[in-house]
Amino acid sequence: MATALFHLAIPVDDLEAARGFYGGTLGCPEGRSDPHWIDFDFYGHQLVVHLAPGAGVAHRNEVDGDHVPVPHFGLVLDWPEWEALAEKLKAAGTKFVIEPHVRFPGRPGEQATLFFYDPAGNALEFKAFRRPEELFARW
């Protein structure tokens, strides 16, 4: 099976704030850009931020005691990479919506997770699985 990469386009209300956040805070290399959008290399995937004033998060759902923002997007990293990102975000003073922690401990699908918003109010989740083969495990 071929490797699949995602392409995700998200709304932002300030391109320079998005550039500082995705390019600076998260360290995503910038690709093509235009006065209305910017491409970023989001861990090998294409993330395009489009200027669209009024972006924001509308809902939250409970997952294992956390009130998870919906919609959200993010990545599944390996455990050491997730730990390094969590430390980098803490050092940068990131305000977490859901602090870095382990969800479903000892159960199938045990995972480390954290949530935060970008400057436009888009929710991001980064997670890592204790056992990556359990990404789609059922209880």
| Terminal-residue alpha carbon distance, the chain | 27
4, 15 Cβ separation under 8 angstroms: no
Q: What is the pLDDT of residues 91-123, one digit of tens each?
A: 999 999 999 999 999 999 999 999 999 999 999
Q: Give dist(CA 114, CA 97) in Å, integer.
A: 8
Residue 123's pLDDT is what? 93
Residue 56's pLDDT is what? 56
Query: For residues 53-92, b (16+ Cβ closer than 10 Å) or e, as one string?
Result: eebeeeeeeeeeebebbeebebbbbeeeebeebbeebeee
Residue 4's pLDDT is what? 76
Q: Give dist(CA 92, CA 112) in Å, integer.
A: 19
Question: Can you list the residues of the chain whose pLDDT is less than 50?
Answer: none
pTM, full prediction: 0.86
Strand order in the sheet with 7-12: 7-12, 45-51, 37-42, 30-34
DSSP assigned state of 134? G
H or E stretch covering 38: strand 37-42
State the CATH architecture for 7-51: 2-Layer Sandwich (3.30)
Residue 71's pLDDT is what? 87
Sketch the domain layout of the chain as residue ranges.
7-51, 60-134
CATH topology of domain 60-134: 2,3-Dihydroxybiphenyl 1,2-Dioxygenase; domain 1 (3.10.180)
